[in-house]
Each structure stands twice: as structure tokens, then as C-alpha cells.
Amino acid sequence: MDKIEIITTLKLAAVSHRAWLSNAQALIEGVPLDKEKIPVRLAECEFGKWYYGDGQKLKNIPGFQEIAQPHDRVHTTYMEIFTLLYGKEDREEIKNPSFFSRLIGTAQKAATEKREAAKAKSLLLQEYSTEVIFQLEQLQRMIDAMSAKELSDYLTNLT
């Protein structure tokens, strides 16, 4: 891998992460999306597949490892949001139709409260995502400033 290829790959990784975040935000806002478009687990999103796959070729470059923590926080926070919006609730079985009728209003109120809580958590999601992008951009700058030999040394020392 040469410098231009690595920087291009990092830029594409950032684009992929931003697309994931955009889909996650749309889902939080109630836009109907296929849930598979927004993977919950960090190694299942396109960015995560790259980071924990081919991206590991860059693991010895200073700054690469610093991306893992905010990326993990993104997915941990999104898991919390996803559980709020789509998680299973522990409710006793509803056997009485009049009880069910009373619950409709309660369920709608609970759904609204959950969506509001998810929106509040989405601010953290944005913050952690901004950190992922910042770390990627720092890594790009660091690689851009390296000589070909320095970069080659980092890439060949894959222990």
C-alpha cells in the first residue's frame, strides 16, 4: 500500500462511517429503514469491517489504535438507542380487552418517551462519531507527513 492508497482508504472509511451515522439518525427520527442497514455491532458496519479487517495493516501507525475507543462508544450508544426503540419489553400477557384498551394510550406515551430518550442519546452518538472522524483525519495527516520509508517501516512491522 502506498501513501495515496492509504489516505484514499481512510477517506472512504470516513464516508462509510458518516453514511452509517446518517442512517442511524434517520432511524432514530422514525424514518422507516431496513434495520440491517444500520448494524448494531461494531465489527458489522462497513467501517468496522474495514477497521478490524484490512485496516489492521495500519495498526502500528500512531493514532490508528485511538480510533477503536470512540468507534466502540458509537456502537455501545447505538445499541442503547436501538434497545430503547426496538427492544423487547417485559410485560405480562394481556388477557382482558378493556385492559388492552387502556394500555393503548400508555403504550403510545411510552413510545413517545422512548423516542425522546433515543433522540437525547443521539447527541452522544454524534459526539462519539465526531471523535471517530477526528481520529481518522489525524491519522490521514500523520500518514501524509510521513516519508515513504517511515510509512514502509510501519507497514512492514506488523507484529
Looking at residue 23, its pLDDT comes to 86
130 is written with which cell numbers?
465526531
pLDDT at 158 over 80: no
3-state helix, strand and coil shares in percent for the chain, rounded to the nearest 5: 75, 0, 25
pLDDT on residue 82? 83
State pLDDT tens for residues 46-93. Answer: 888 899 999 999 999 999 999 999 999 999 998 888 888 877 543 333
Contact 85, 114 (CB under 8 A): yes
Domain layout of the chain by residue ranges: 3-156
C-alpha distances in angstroms, 35 versus 41, 43, 44, 45, 78? Answer: 12, 16, 13, 12, 12
pLDDT on residue 74: 92
pLDDT at 97: 43
The answer on pLDDT for 100 being more than 90 is no
| Amino acid at position 132, single letter | V
Report pLDDT for 3: 92
pLDDT in tens, 36-57: 667 777 788 888 889 999 999 9
- Would the pTM of this model clear 0.85, i.e. be above it? no
